[in-house]
Structure 1
Amino acid sequence: MKLPLVPKYVQHDVQNTQKVYNDKIQSAEELLEKLKRLLELWERFDGNKRRYQQQAERLHNEVSLLSS
């Protein structure tokens, strides 16, 4: 980025700041994708856990009925 009538060191600082900003944005986007994937896995795990608990309760009830 060329800024007319601005000292070179200021242009250099602006370029460095833009680079750091872009790097941070990219890192944040990558982290967001990882968090979305983690949430998806957690929701799947939670659903499976609930199904497992329901099946365990059903089996327990059936065993209780057979035992009585």
Structure 2
Amino acid sequence: GQVLATGGVPKDLDLGLVDFPALLGKREVSLCWRYGERRIRFWHGLDEGYAARKPLPGDLRPHEEA
């Protein structure tokens, strides 16, 4: 319920993948979250999927657990 209420779009229930529509600069993207991750840290283009996810700008801290 809470995920959908915040605009989340389930992508793969078995893996626990959820995308959230967003703007990154002026580009429409999907913020990408996977069950078990403490927070949203990745994004991908609308025509891409989980395998193409990239770190959010300003969230490039190495050695941090997901």
> Which structure dedicates a bigger proportion of its chain to helix?
1
TM-score scaled to structure 1, two decimals? 0.17
Whose RCO is larger (CA < 8 A, sep 6+)? 2
